Chains A and B, each alone.
Chain A
Amino acid sequence: MMLGNLQPGEIVGELRAAGIRLRIGPFHINVRSEDALFASTFGLLYADFPLLATNEPAEFRIELDHPKGIRRWWRPQVRFLLDDSQPFEPFPKSHAMPLFEWGFNWCIYEHIHEFLIMHAAALEWGGRALIMPAPPGSGKSTLCAALTHSGWRLLSDEFALIRKPDSKIVPIPRPIGLKEHSIELIRGIAPSARFGPVFSDTRKGSVAHLKPPTDAVSGAEVVAAPAWLVFPRYEAGTRTTLQPLGKASAFVRASNNCFNYGALRKTGFTLLSAVIDECDCYELRFGDLNQALDQLKPLSENLRRVA
């Protein structure tokens, strides 16, 4: 049973009562909220995700609530709570969805060491994974959204979850957060794409979430073997180039994009080494999205046969 099988009224009701329990990639969450806008956005963006069975425990109990007292009327806010504690400052009340996405990211990189977790977008073609590690502002999400709508399967916009012991990528195909001009850009490329509402004036500017394709969500248990490691960097006006990158340099840069490379110690090194061994590594500098897509096309076309 999927979240989308519930009536909108039921979603609102469940979110207000004990919470909605979902499987999102490999993770089990329980989310509560009294916010009607959050309920409708969540219901839209997460419609294809499966509800947990009653015998499956949720590991993250997330609550989005509204501070009481004067805050009820004056500049109302929304708080993110995990285990009843509040890891960061509240957002304005209408920004519950961006806060949820941000907070859930935090839950994963702060509390999960089952995987080596790389801050990267990841997509699949023919069973092979393209991993694009990058800091915020590098155009990673825009590129990821565009590839998602040009034949690649979305594995994740935010985290490459590298599993033990075979270094395969475990999908966590969540909504893709797009900022500012990227929103219109992706609407232009993919008219059929479904978006949640645009949230203006978040701490990252305007943000809207792109609903992950149904196929990507229903394929969330199908892992992919790393094949390409591409470090994207968007610079307005720059000429688009895809340059091969040495493995040593790729290793160092990839490790700097991992949240828990240190915490996993030797396991982290072993997993990342295997990823680097398996991947062709590149640096992608781009000033134009379509040119970037053209540069990446040969990767999937020259796909080596999987043994």
Chain B
Amino acid sequence: MNTAPWFTRHPLLRILRSPGDVAQLSVPELEELICQARQERLGGHLWHVLEANSLLQSLHPVVRRQLWSGFLEAEYHRQRILWEADRIHWALRDLGLSIILLKGGAYAAANLDIAKGRFVRDLDVLLPKECLSAAEKTLIEAGWEHVVLDDYDQRYYRLWSHELPPLVHPDRRTELDLHHAIVPRSSYRRLDMLSLHASAIVIDTRGTKVLAPLDMTLHCAAHLFQTGEIRGGLRDLVDFAALVRQFSSQPAFQENLVPRALQLGLGRPLYYALRYATRLLNAGIPEPLMHASEAARPSPLVLAFMDFAIPQALLRSSAHNESWLVRFGHVSLYIRSHWLRMPPLPLAMHIARKSLRRWKFRESNA
């Protein structure tokens, strides 16, 4: 009897867990692999992993070119993001700000292991809250523009989000998100942003910073389980596993991760990230770290729900039929992601408004 959970048969997950299996995939599984890697923007990462394990030669040329194309795409965007960061530095040079790069931009700038072949679309920058409007004004004077958004979206961002409405420079079209916090408003009261700024690390001669390893890892977990929609977040989980793997060689990283998480109010997202990186990716998280994170374990009922819904949400797959139960899981996670962002009444109004607009948009395009 086959007792392995359904997701261990998911081709992309299977190769992420154990790259050597790639030679054993059937033609339909290879097709699923291409499709899933493209969907999750993990083709470039997969190329890198297979190359590091000398597994590319065994691949069918069609599979190889798809992954190779994903890799080139990722490397190109990495270059664009670093150039955009350079331009931001230039534009904000007179404000004397501490500019902290977040997520993909940070991994690229700090040249972390995970950056190789990792797709990054937007540049995320963290600034002290009190500097945000000056920075926005300076960037707009230097040629950046708001991505066209209506008044409602502008207000929504400014009132409820932890980032400003996105900006782009028309010559380069790389989206720039200016953050003043790493989790949304309703959760950030507990989060001491000053201490994130204080422990950030300078990575180049111009003074570009990235979050300290502990905070960077926690931000990754928080981004997936506290701020995002989880659906489509497999890439974040892959990031998280890679960050833990790389930083675990540093002294005291493992011992301090859970205490830091609890201090910042991010114990729960860390718990989830460790749990699902282990379950889905076989991430090799050290046992003491898993054990320490139990301090932030949710109630058994919540955990049972998450154990069911999270793999479904992270692993979109056409081969896996969406039952009503799965759809219930998706909807619940969607509501949860908003719940963490806004109080109930504004949330209800926001969702109603968005749905109405989506409907109108569809009709006007009919």
User: Are A55's CB and B365's CB within 8 A?
Assistant: no
Indicate if A30 sits at the interface (CB-CB under 8 A). yes
B318 contacts across to A, CB distance below 8 A: 83-84
A165 CB → nearest B CB, Å: 14
Q: A-facing mask of B322-366, CB < 8 A → 1, else 0?
A: 000000000000000000000000000000000000000000011
Q: B-facing mask of A66-90, CB < 8 A → 1, else 0?
A: 0000000001010000011100010
In the bound complex, CA of A57 to CA of B30 (Å): 7
B365 contacts across to A, CB distance below 8 A: 89
User: Are B62's CB and A262's CB within 8 A?
Assistant: no
In the bound complex, CA of A265 to CA of B74 (Å): 12
Count the B residues whose beta carbon is within 8 Å of the partner chain — how many?
24
User: Are A263's CB and B76's CB within 8 A?
Assistant: yes
User: Are B69's CB and A111's CB within 8 A?
Assistant: yes
Which residue of A is nearest B76, CB measured?
A: A263
Which residue of B is nearest A67, CB measured?
A: B362
A114-B68, A114-B69, A262-B76 known; A83 vs B38 contact (CB < 8 Å)? yes
Indicate if B18 sits at the interface (CB-CB under 8 A). no
In the bound complex, CA of A112 to CA of B62 (Å): 11
A57-B60, A262-B76 known; A111 vs B30 contact (CB < 8 Å)? no
Which residue of B is nearest A71, CB measured?
A: B366
B117 CB → nearest A CB, Å: 13
The number of inter-chain residue pairs (CB within 8 angstroms) is 58
Indicate if A113 sits at the interface (CB-CB under 8 A). yes
A21 CB → nearest B CB, Å: 10
A83 contacts across to B, CB distance below 8 A: 35-36, 38-39, 318
B27 contacts across to A, CB distance below 8 A: 54-57
User: Are B62's CB and A61's CB within 8 A?
Assistant: no
Complex partner residue of B66 from A75, A111, A264, A265, CB under 8 angstroms: A111
Indicate if B89 sits at the interface (CB-CB under 8 A). no
Q: B-facing mask of A252-292, CB < 8 A → 1, else 0?
A: 00000000101111000000000000000000000000000
Q: A-facing mask of B64-97, CB < 8 A → 1, else 0?
A: 0110110011011001000000000000000000
B141 CB → nearest A CB, Å: 27
Indicate if B307 sits at the interface (CB-CB under 8 A). no
B38 contacts across to A, CB distance below 8 A: 83, 111
Indicate if B63 sits at the interface (CB-CB under 8 A). yes
Indicate if B34 sits at the interface (CB-CB under 8 A). yes
A57-B30, A57-B62, A75-B366 known; A113 vs B35 contact (CB < 8 Å)? no
Indicate if B297 sits at the interface (CB-CB under 8 A). no
Indicate if B31 sits at the interface (CB-CB under 8 A). yes
Indicate if A16 sits at the interface (CB-CB under 8 A). no
Indicate if A245 sits at the interface (CB-CB under 8 A). no
Which residue of A is nearest B60, CB measured?
A: A57
Indicate if A28 sits at the interface (CB-CB under 8 A). yes
A59-B34, A75-B366, A83-B39 known; A265 vs B76 contact (CB < 8 Å)? yes
B231 contacts across to A, CB distance below 8 A: none
A71 CB → nearest B CB, Å: 8
Q: A-facing mask of B3-38, CB < 8 A → 1, else 0?
A: 000000000000000000000000100110011101
A83-B35, A83-B39, A89-B365 known; A59 vs B72 contact (CB < 8 Å)? no
User: Are A61's CB and B72's CB within 8 A?
Assistant: no
Which of B75, B76, B79, B316 has the most chain A CB atoms closer than 10 A to its own CB? B76
B27 CB → nearest A CB, Å: 5
A54-B27, A77-B366, A265-B76 known; A114 vs B65 contact (CB < 8 Å)? yes
A111-B66, A113-B72, A114-B68 known; A61 vs B60 contact (CB < 8 Å)? no
A59-B63, A77-B366, A83-B39 known; A263 vs B31 contact (CB < 8 Å)? no
A47 contacts across to B, CB distance below 8 A: none
In the bound complex, CA of A171 to CA of B30 (Å): 25
In the bound complex, CA of A280 to CA of B348 (Å): 64
Q: Which residues of B, 35-75, contact A by the 8 Å Cβ criterion?
A: 35-36, 38-39, 60, 62-63, 65-66, 68-69, 72-73, 75
B365 CB → nearest A CB, Å: 5
B60 contacts across to A, CB distance below 8 A: 56-57
Indicate if A58 sits at the interface (CB-CB under 8 A). yes
In the bound complex, CA of A58 to CA of B30 (Å): 9
A111 contacts across to B, CB distance below 8 A: 38, 66, 69
User: Are A113's CB and B73's CB within 8 A?
Assistant: yes
Other A-B contacts than A77-B366, A83-B39, A263-B72, 4 sampled, CB-CB below 8 A, are: A56-B60, A57-B27, A111-B69, A262-B76
Q: Which 9 pairs, one residue from A and one from B, show the smallest C-beta to C-beta distance?
A: A113-B69, A263-B76, A113-B72, A114-B65, A83-B35, A57-B30, A59-B62, A84-B318, A83-B39
- 27 of the cross-chain contacts (CB-CB < 8 Å) are A56-B27, A56-B60, A57-B27, A57-B62, A58-B31, A59-B31, A59-B62, A59-B63, A59-B65, A61-B31, A75-B366, A83-B38, A84-B39, A84-B316, A85-B39, A111-B66, A111-B69, A112-B69, A113-B72, A114-B65, A114-B69, A260-B72, A263-B72, A263-B73, A264-B72, A265-B75, A265-B79
